[in-house]
Amino acid sequence: MRVVVLTGAGISAESGVPTFRDADGLWEGHRVEDVATPEAYEAQPSVVQAFYDARRAALATVEPNPAHVALARLEAALGDRLFLVTQNIDDLHERGGSRHVHHMHGELRSALCRGCDQHVPWTGDLGDFPPCPGCGVAELRPDVVWFGEVPYGMDQIQVALQRADVFVSIGTSGAVYPAAGFVQFAGRYGARTIELNLQPSEGTEYFDDARHGPAGVLVPAWVDEVLATLEPA
């Protein structure tokens, strides 16, 4: 059985990670759209760096929840038959025990060098414009996919969705494309589709099975169901 799991802001929100839409989408008086675009970075790099530096530092204040831990359990059982793709830029899946996580919108704990195009693991601030450890140029930007940029690894995601027997969407609003289109794409290629979300998403009618409640409850229960169907090793 091949499984694709897509996770979104809802799973992180249960760990206390603020979503983009908290505080009416404002951050220190800036509209989120004004700090999460390439144009914003060109115009006000210090503001954009400060926004992501604060989010990166805040990772130390949150912990993975039972949903993250359950998905690591699923990976341990399925190995490479699980493709975990997340829209989240935090590291809660990794800290919950997942080893292979496809961050389609990038990661806070990574920097992208505009000098040499390398992805550099990064845990500190970028606001003081440190030099790239690879090429020495001081052009490290947050390694996140901004509005107007193309998500990472879409080819790989598409192949995984085509091959999937089961597609599960966890904690996503169903409003942000291209991820919002995954359910219909996977369904067309024959996957059974399941939504696990706090409330019905915008695309809830596209799912074969939709369950609503906290991810910390629904995800461990669903993982137990899957594990019970696997043949004993």
Residues 6 or more apart whose CB falls under 8 angstroms from that of 212 comprise 197, 198, 199, 200, 218
Encoded one letter per residue, x for contact with Zn ion by CB under 5 A and - for no contact, window 132-171 reads: x-xx------------------------------------
User: At closest approach, how far in Å is the CB of 125 from Zn ion?
Assistant: 17
**Of the ranges 51-59, 72-80, 107-115, 160-168, which one interacts with Zn ion (CB under 5 A)?**
107-115
- Establish if 112 lies at the interface with Zn ion (CB under 5 A): no
Q: Residue 48 and residue 36: Cα distance in Å, rounded? A: 7
Neighbours of 146 (CB within 10 A): 18
Q: Is 105 a catalytic residue?
A: yes
**Of the ranges 49-57, 109-117, 184-192, 201-209, which one interacts with Zn ion (CB under 5 A)?**
109-117
Calculate the dihedral angle through the C-alpha atoms of 8, 202, 16, 145, rounding to the nearest 10 degrees.
40
Q: Residue 27 and residue 225: Cα distance in Å, rounded? A: 40
Tokens of 61: 């204040």
Q: Name which of 26 and 116 has its Cβ closer to Zn ion.
A: 116
Question: In the range 6-45, which residues lie near Zn ion by CB under 5 A?
Answer: none
Structure letter (DSSP) for residue 96: T
Tokens of 101: 């996580």
- Establish if 116 lies at the interface with Zn ion (CB under 5 A): yes
User: At closest approach, how far in Å is the CB of 139 from Zn ion?
Assistant: 7
* Chain residues in the site for Zn ion (CB under 5 A): 113, 115-116, 132, 134-135
Give the active site residues: 105
